[in-house]
């Protein structure tokens, strides 16, 4: 595994551009993070304020790239910020992927494309990526949209951790799936019915 580059990397697909969020994005991030679905399925603070967005961009995002522990990208379509995606906990050739989208951007294949770009970067050897061997996906039980994206990307369902996640002080069941560097990147079988929604 190669540590991520200290300077953010831009990833470009057919419809999306992934670039680290910057201070000019703070108001848009604050606007998007008040969406009830973002609050329900992520660990962002709730209620979400502009100050949270400032701390996210100038602290968490910047520190992650500098230390090599995380890579965070804003998802842009036609120049408009519509969501976030990232690799977190990068260590020992593994990381966790996480993502969310604005309501108007959901259901159009945008996240599937963004996840594909991030996985390409995650598994590619330097200088084109970080050479990970494994990427893990977690979601609170019931997050069918996130599960659908992970399933399409080839993630193999690995189980349910009962009350295994904590969200703002509340214990929740946690779904987990994993993708190895040499796994096929085609829709995976074996996902339980409860993840299909």
CATH at residue 159: 3.40.630.30
Do 71 and 86 meet the contact criterion of CB atoms below 8 Å apart?
yes
The whole model's pTM is what?
0.95
Residue 102 located in a structural domain: yes
Positions of the chain with pLDDT under 70: none
Q: Buried b / exposed e across 63-81, counting CB within 10 Å, b at 16+? A: ebbeebbbbbbbbbbeeeb
Asked if residue 1 is part of any domain, the answer here is no
* 76 assigned to some structural domain: yes
Q: In this structure, are residues 167 and 189 in contact, taking their beta carbons and an 8 Å threshold?
A: no
β-partners of residue 177 are 137, 157
Output phi, psi for 5, to 5 deg.
Answer: -65, 145
2 belongs to a structural domain: no
Let me know if residue 5 belongs to a domain. Answer: no
Q: What is the pLDDT of residue 1?
A: 76
> Is 4 within the bounds of a domain?
no
146: number of Cβ within 10 Å: 24
pLDDT at 7: 85
Residue 136 lies in a domain: yes
118, 97 contact by CB (below 8 A): yes
d(CA 46, CA 63): 22
- The whole-number pLDDT of residue 2 equals 74
- Which domain does 146 fall in, by range? 11-195
Q: Give the number of domains in the chain.
A: 1
Alpha-carbon Rg for the chain, nearest whole angstrom, is 16
pLDDT at 197: 79
| 151-180 residue pLDDT tens | 999 999 999 999 999 988 999 999 999 999
Q: Is residue 115 part of a domain?
A: yes
Tokens of 118: 């991030």
Of 112, 110, 119, 140, which is closest to residue 43 (Cα–Cα)? 140
Return the DSSP state at 190: -
Q: What is the pLDDT of residue 100?
A: 98
């Amino acid at each position: 595994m190669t540590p991520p580059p200290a300077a953010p990397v831009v990833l470009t697909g057919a419809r999306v551009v992934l670039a680290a969020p910057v201070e000019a994005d703070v108001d848009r991030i604050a606007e998007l993070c008040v969406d009830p679905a973002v609050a329900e399925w992520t660990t962002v603070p709730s209620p979400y304020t502009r100050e949270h967005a400032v701390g996210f961009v100038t602290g968490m995002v910047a520190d992650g790239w500098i230390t090599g522990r995380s890579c965070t990208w804003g998802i842009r379509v036609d120049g408009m910020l519509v969501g976030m995606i990232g690799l977190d906990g990068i260590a020992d050739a593994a990381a966790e992927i996480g993502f969310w989208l604005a309501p108007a951007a959901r259901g159009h294949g945008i996240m599937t494309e963004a996840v594909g770009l991030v996985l390409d970067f995650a598994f590619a050897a330097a200088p084109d990526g970080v050479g990970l061997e494994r990427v893990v996906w977690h979601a609170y039980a019931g997050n069918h949209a996130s599960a659908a994206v992970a399933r399409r990307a080839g993630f193999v369902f690995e189980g349910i951790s009962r009350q295994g996640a904590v969200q703002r002080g509340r214990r929740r069941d946690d779904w987990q799936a994993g993708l190895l560097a040499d796994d096929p990147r085609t829709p995976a079988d074996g996902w339980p019915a409860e993840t299909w929604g």
